[in-house]
Each structure stands twice: as structure tokens, then as C-alpha cells.
Structure 1
Amino acid sequence: MYNNLGAQPGVPRPPTNPQPNPFGNSFYGAGSGLIRGGLGAYGEKILGSSSEYVQSNISRYFSDPQYYFQVNDQYVRNKLKVVLLPFLHRGHWTRITEPVGGRLSYKPPIYDINAPDLYIPFMAFGTYVVLAGLSLGLQRKFSPEALNWLFVKGLFGWFLQVSLLKVTLLSLGSGEAPLLDILAYAGYAFTGMCLAVLGRIIWRYSYYFLMPWACLCMGIFLVKTMKRVLFAEVRSYDSSKHHYLLLFIALAQFPLFTWLGNISVNWLF
């Protein structure tokens, strides 16, 4: 009466094929899809937000280095006029913005005379080292070691200028200026320094006129530039403190230029 084939020896046991459960497969597919989709969206949201956070914070302190080398001959000529003759600059000192990717971004130096660049500072620094070596050669004090010390002296002077500008912005509640911007503004000091050192090489006594002139022009340029940065970024600040610190920036150019302009074997003096 009962079919017990599976229990009889020598008789093959029929395979057991359970009926598929359509509800279970559908629930499993829907559940796994929901989990994958939910986790994927959540992970993308986390990674996207963190990426935007990192990019926004990096852009606050650093910028694209290529931006600072987008220059041409016309920009270099006009920029040198602004740095060496800032009181003759009749235009505004604010930078030009343009919408990029839904946000406002500054135009590169080739389109904006007020934009900072690193081409002129690096070229001026290299020229300063070459002129310093030539000056030592004329004094018959040239040596590779002395030129190395002058190179380090110039870098240290550049670092002091960057520190001065950065500390000033931080003390006034505006420390968000990109570091490469401040590096460019500080490096413009070597343009006037090159002029003063070249004047000393050509005619010794012209140095005593060109050096104060370069200090004065650099002080005016930095005061105008820092005022623009402060007005654009600082929401509230002490007006008296603001003016005192800007005056300090201008006055600090005189000892800095005097120290860098003293081309000697002893780089400390």
C-alpha cells in the first residue's frame, strides 16, 4: 500500500526537487536590493559630503598652483607697474569674479591685474640671487658657499614676510586667505629688492635712494592689498587695531629690505 522505494536496497532513490517559493525569492531580491541601494546611497552621501568638505577646506587654504602661472607679457608689465608704482594705480584694487560650477571664482591673473601670481615672485627671487652673486663678485667675495647663504637668506626673508601677513590676518579674524595668495603677495618684495641691488651695482650711491623707495612702494602695495582682503573677508573688526596693524606691515618693510639688501658674506647682518 505504501511506496517505500527509498528504503528498498538496490532501487535508486528519486531526487527530491522541492517546489520553488516565488514569494521567498521575491522577498529576498527586494530585501537585498533595498539593502544594497540604501547602503550605496548612504555611502555615496557620506563620501560625497566628506569629499566636498575636504575640497572646500583645502580650497580655503590652498589653491590650484596652475592658477598662479596663467600670465602673459602684458600682465607682467602692468603688474610690475602696480608693485613698483602703486600710487599711480588709478583702477580699483578688488579682484574680478566669475561663476564657475555654480560658485563664484576669481579670474586668473591673465584677466585680472589685481590677482596674485607666483611667476613674478619666483622670477624676482631668482634675479635677486643672481644679482647678489654678481655684487659679491664685484666685491671679490664670491664663493659658492656665500651664494648658498644668500639663497637661504632670501628664502628666510620670504618666510618672514609670509608670517607677517598671515599673523596680521589671523589677529584681525581673517585667516582664510589661501596660503599661495599670501606667498605671492610676500614674494613681490623681491621686485623692489632687485631694483635696489641693481642700482647699487650700477652706481653705489643710488642704493640709498632706491632702497627707501622700494620699501615705501612695497608698503603701499601691501596696505592696499591687505585692506582689500580684510574688507572682503572680515565681518567685524576693531578699526583702530586694523589701521595700526596695516601701518605695522608698511613700517616692517624697511628693516626687512635693509637686511635683505645688505649683500655680504655674513648673511645674518
Structure 2
Amino acid sequence: MSYNPTSRSSGPAKKAKRVSDVNALGGVAQQPAPYNPIPAPNLSANYDNNPTVQSPNNYYTPNTSPSNYMQSPQAPNYNPQYASSPYDPNQPQINPNQIGFNMFQQPIMQDMALQYGQKLADQGKELVNKELEKYVSVTKLKYYFAVDNKYVMNKLRLLFFPFAQKDWSLKFDQETAVQPRYDLNSPDLYIPTMGYITYIVLAGFILGLQDRFSPEQLGIQASSALAYNIFELIIYTITLYVTNIQTTLRTLDLVAFSGYKYASIVAILCATILFSTTGYWIALIYCGSTLAFFLLRTLKAKVLSEPVSSAAQAPNYDPYSQQPQSFDHTLGRKRKLYFLFMFAILQFFLPFMLTKHLK
């Protein structure tokens, strides 16, 4: 016999009461499931054999879990070693400033930078040579700096002891003058340039010993020496033009021969430092005499000789020309001798003007 709690053995049946308190039933009331317009996938379908059945991966079911709203999606290829968090000292830190520096340490980038720099240097050199060619021939200028150590030592010996020299002729290679390194009697611009710079340094040193040095004095010494040299070149050029003297001298030859006086000036200043005023006068007289003798003997082959193609016409001589040259020693000899003596006398006057304030 089964027991029915709603049934009673006696009396009429009573109406059941409605319970409004859910907790009184001893459990939580289940809420109805939210409406989802997307149909649930049929897990029992055979996706491999029936291609008309759509795969459940094609459906998108939103995740309504509250915990997922606070989480950011993570990339599938995420690598935690590149994370740079200032709050985690265990993770490796990446300095953004080192990214470009590390890039230039690559051999490919270094080779590209080297090639680009070389290209810029070549373009700059070509531009300088192109602009310089408008005023001075670079090829001819290189000729005057084609020297070596042996030539410089022998040339200085010849400047200060020219009396023992016997051969003052110029050497030619296929009717063209050879470079100074192969001919001791050829003019050069290396010794005049170095003598000019050394003169400025020694002048500043002597002024310092006399408590008269100032930075402006170096500029004054350099500008005054350059002005005297330009004045000397103007005198030579005007004299050759007025007297109509035809010589084999060129402008760079005049610059070279007039610049040899700076080697004598350096010797004079060294004697002044060692022996004071007495050494200055002795060195001035000796160096002036040796320089005058050297220029007379060296310029004789260039001034007293004149290139001519015939007895009636005397074209200008070009030492760089490949054409054979002929010489005539009879035209204007007296005027040429006057020019040589004027050149030699100025080698006493100009060194004195450049050193008299330093004795």
C-alpha cells in the first residue's frame, strides 16, 4: 500500500496552498535560459560524410561570462621575453634608443655607409678640382710639389751653401722639364710653403720671449708676409712686361723662387734666438748673400735663355709642351741682367723688412 500525503482517510479534501517564498522549498529557483537566435550545433551530425551539414565552427556563440569582459585577447604568437614592464624586474628590458645603434652595427649597414661616404668624398674632390682648374692648373701645381726627403735635404744644403755647386743646368725628359725630385735645380713650392709656416711659428715664439705675444700677432705676421710676397710678385711681373723681356719663367716659377727667402728668414730667426742681435746681423748678411748667389745662378738658365722658332718671331715657352724648343741668348741680354740683379737685391731687403721687428 503506497502512502499519499495529500490524501486523508477522512474528511473532505482541502485546497493546496501557494508558496511564495522560494527558500522555503530548500533550493534556488532556476532561471529560464536566455533567448539565443543562433541554433545550437547538432553534435550528432556527421560532418565528414555529409558536406551539407555546417560545422559548428562556423557559428559564433558569444561568451557572456562576466570574467571574460575584464580580460584582453592575447596574440597567438605572443612571446613574453619581449614584454617590457617596469613593474617586473625579472623580465628583460629593451631600450628604444639602442634600436638604431644596433642597426648600424650590422656589417651590411656599415658597408653601405662606407660606400656612401666614399661616393660623397669623390664628388667633393671632383667639385674642388673643377673649381680650382678655373684659376690654377692642378696638373701644373702637382709638378711643383713632386718632392721627396732626399730632394728637400739637398735643396736646403744648396740654399745655404751654393758656392760648391758646379752644375746649374736644368734637366729635360723628351723636351719637358723633369720633376723637382729628379732635378735639384728645378723650382718647387714645398720648401717655400713650409718656410712660410715655420716663419709665422718662430715669429710668435720670439714675441712670446719678448712678452709681446698675442693671438692677433700671428694673423698680423701671416698677412704682412703674404702682402710682401704679393708686392714682390707684382714688381717682377711689371718689370718683365715693361721691359718686354722674353723668358721661360712662369707665374708659379716666380712664386717658387721668391718663396725661398723664407728658408733664409727661418735661419735668421734661429740665429736671433741663440745669439741675440749679433747673430741676427751675421745671419742676415750671410743668408742674403747665399740666397742672392743661388738665385743668380738658377735664374740665369731661365732668364738669359729665350725660346724662339725663328730669328723674327719668339713664341712663349711652355715647359709642359711636348714640342721641341730652341733658344736664343742674344736678345735683350742687358735688360735681363738688370732684372737678375734686381731680383737678387730684393733678397736682402725683404728678409730685413720681415725680421727687423723681431731682433
1:63 & 1:233 partners in 2: Cα distance? Answer: 24
Letter in 1 for 2:304: F
**Which residue number in structure 2 is paired with residue 245 of structure 1?**
339
Letter in 1 for 2:306: E
Deviations 1:134-193 (A, max 9, x none): 011011100111111110111122223323443444425225522111111111010011
What is the TM-score with the length of structure 1 in the denominator? 0.68
Over the aligned positions, Cα root-mean-square deviation in angstroms equals 2.3
| 1:77–1:244 distance in 2 versus 1, CA, 3 Å | same
2:234 & 2:211 partners in 1: Cα distance? Answer: 34
- Compare CA radii of gyration and give the structure with the larger one: 2
How far 1:232 sits from its partner (Å)? 2.7
**Greater RCO, 1 or 2 (C-alpha within 8 Å, sep 6+):** 1
Letter in 1 for 2:299: M
How far 1:214 sits from its partner (Å)? 1.2
1:137 matched to 2:212? The reply is: no
1:62 & 1:78 partners in 2: Cα distance? Answer: 26
Asked if structure 2 preserves the Cα contact closer than 8 Å seen for 1:84 and 1:218, the reply is yes
How far 1:86 sits from its partner (Å)? 1.7
**Which residue number in structure 1 is paired with residue 189 of structure 2?**
118
Asked if structure 1 preserves the Cα contact closer than 8 Å seen for 2:249 and 2:303, the reply is no
Letter in 2 for 1:73: N
2:214 & 2:205 partners in 1: Cα distance? Answer: 11
Asked if structure 2 preserves the Cα contact closer than 8 Å seen for 1:162 and 1:182, the reply is yes
The partner residue of 2:142 within 43, 66, 83 is: 66
1:222 & 1:257 partners in 2: Cα distance? Answer: 15
Deviations 1:81-129 (A, max 9, x none): 11122222122x2211112xxxx21110111101111111100110101
| 1:255–1:191 distance in 2 versus 1, CA, 3 Å | same
| 1:85–1:62 distance in 2 versus 1, CA, 3 Å | farther
User: How many pairs are equivalent?
Assistant: 201
**Which residue number in structure 1 is paired with residue 283 of structure 2?**
210
The partner residue of 2:269 within 179, 197, 200 is: 197
Q: Specify the SS of the correspondent of 2:173.
A: strand
1:156 matched to 2:227? The reply is: yes
| 1:241–1:256 distance in 2 versus 1, CA, 3 Å | same
1:196 & 1:116 partners in 2: Cα distance? Answer: 22
What is the percentage of aligned positions where both structures have the same residue?
30
Asked if structure 2 preserves the Cα contact closer than 8 Å seen for 1:172 and 1:242, the reply is no
The partner residue of 1:109 within 162, 173, 180 is: 180
Asked if structure 2 preserves the Cα contact closer than 8 Å seen for 1:86 and 1:217, the reply is yes
1:62 & 1:242 partners in 2: Cα distance? Answer: 30
Q: Specify the SS of the correspondent of 1:117.
A: coil
Letter in 2 for 1:219: A
Asked if structure 1 preserves the Cα contact closer than 8 Å seen for 2:146 and 2:180, the reply is yes
1:87 matched to 2:159? The reply is: no
Letter in 1 for 2:210: Q
How far 1:242 sits from its partner (Å)? 2.9
The partner residue of 1:255 within 324, 345, 349 is: 349
Q: Specify the SS of the correspondent of 1:174.
A: coil
Letter in 2 for 1:191: A
Contiguous gaps of at least 5 residues in structure 1: 1-57, 265-269
Asked if structure 1 preserves the Cα contact closer than 8 Å seen for 2:191 and 2:260, the reply is yes
1:128 & 1:231 partners in 2: Cα distance? Answer: 32
**Which residue number in structure 2 is paired with residue 228 of structure 1?**
301
Contiguous gaps of at least 5 residues in structure 2: 1-133, 308-327
| 1:62–1:114 distance in 2 versus 1, CA, 3 Å | farther
Q: Specify the SS of the correspondent of 2:350.
A: helix
Q: Specify the SS of the correspondent of 1:263.
A: helix
> Which range moved further: 162-171 or 253-262?
162-171
1:75 & 1:160 partners in 2: Cα distance? Answer: 29
